[in-house]
Amino acid sequence: MEYSPPIDGCRCSSCGENVVGEGTGCTAMDQVFHVDCFTCTTCGSKLRGKPFYAMEKKAYCEPCYVNTLETCSVCSQPIMERILRATGKAYHPHCFSCVVCHRSLDGIPFTVDAANQIHCIEDFHKKFAPPLLGVWGAHHARPGTGGDGAHRGAGPGLPRAVLPLRGLWLSTL
Ligand SMILES: [Zn+2]
Ligand SMILES: [Zn+2]
Ligand SMILES: [Zn+2]
Ligand SMILES: [Zn+2]
């Protein structure tokens, strides 16, 4: 990774000065830097000889990079690779699974119920099979009252229809 710049007159992408001399420059992200100028965007520590992570042409040391990561809303670990976003939260692809059959729903259509629990479409339909419409909705018109109050209430326990929410699949890297 580290070598003297191939052509004289390479400019350091950080300070703009020429990079001259053996061992004073390094290249990263297709740019040339002085070894001392190649530092973590967040904490400023020198990244020479250390693993670093590049995001949008900026370099970060490993601890700072991990700090910028979103954590999985299932296992609370930082998400190092692909982020799966759904229902406004971030997940590891393997952590995003159906609460009923536990299979990973990475790339598979899913839906959530009123409590934001993730279901595969199959289990969702099994669990929330449409009610027999008309049973719960039956009303008891009281005779002689002119129908006052006849339409009040739909009966207890009527499952609310939940519209399938499609997840938004985004990936990084
Ligand atoms: Zn420099
Ligand atoms: Zn840092
Ligand atoms: Zn996870
Ligand atoms: Zn399932």
Confidence of residue 150 (pLDDT cuts 50, 70, 90): very low
Could you tell me if residue 30 is inside a domain? no
Residue 19's Cβ-side half-sphere holds a number of Cα atoms within 13 Å equal to: 27
Residue 101 lies in a domain: yes
Contacts of 26 (CB under 8 A, 6+ apart): 1, 2, 3, 32, 33, 34, 35, 38, 48
Tell me the CATH number at 99.
Answer: 2.10.110.10
Whether residue 3 lies inside any domain: the answer is no
User: Considering the domain boundaries, does residue 108 fall inside one?
Assistant: yes
Q: Could you tell me how far CA 62 lies from the centroid of its own chain? A: 20
Between CA 102 and CA 99 the distance in angstroms is: 6
Distance CA 133, CA 26 (A): 71
- How many domains are contained in the chain? 1
Backbone angles phi, psi at 122, to 5 degrees: -55, -50
Q: Please answer whether residues 80 and 98 qualify as being in contact, where contact means their C-beta atoms are separated by less than 8 angstroms.
A: no
Give the Å distance between the CA of 61 and the centre of ligand 1: 18
pLDDT-based confidence at residue 9 (cuts at 50, 70, 90): low
Nearest to 13 by CA among 22, 26, 23: 26
CA of 120 to the centre of ligand 2 (A): 40
Instruction: Starting from the CA of residue 89, give the closest ligand.
Output: 3
From the CA of 79, which ligand is nearest? 3
Alpha carbon of 139 to ligand 4 centroid (Å): 36
Q: Tell me, yes or no, whether 164 lies in a domain.
A: no
pLDDT digits over 101-130, tens only?
Answer: 999 998 888 988 888 889 999 999 888 876
Is the residue at 36 inside a domain? no
Instruction: Look at phi and psi of residue 31 and say left if phi exceeds 0, alpha if psi is from -120 to 50, else beta.
Output: beta
- The predicted pLDDT at position 142 comes to 45
Residue 100 lies in a domain: yes
In this structure, is residue 54 part of a structural domain?
no
Rounded to the nearest angstrom, the distance between the alpha carbon of 163 and the centre of ligand 2 is 44
Long-range interactions of 130-134: CB distance < 8 A, separation 24+: 131/158, 131/159
Domain extent for 91: 84-127
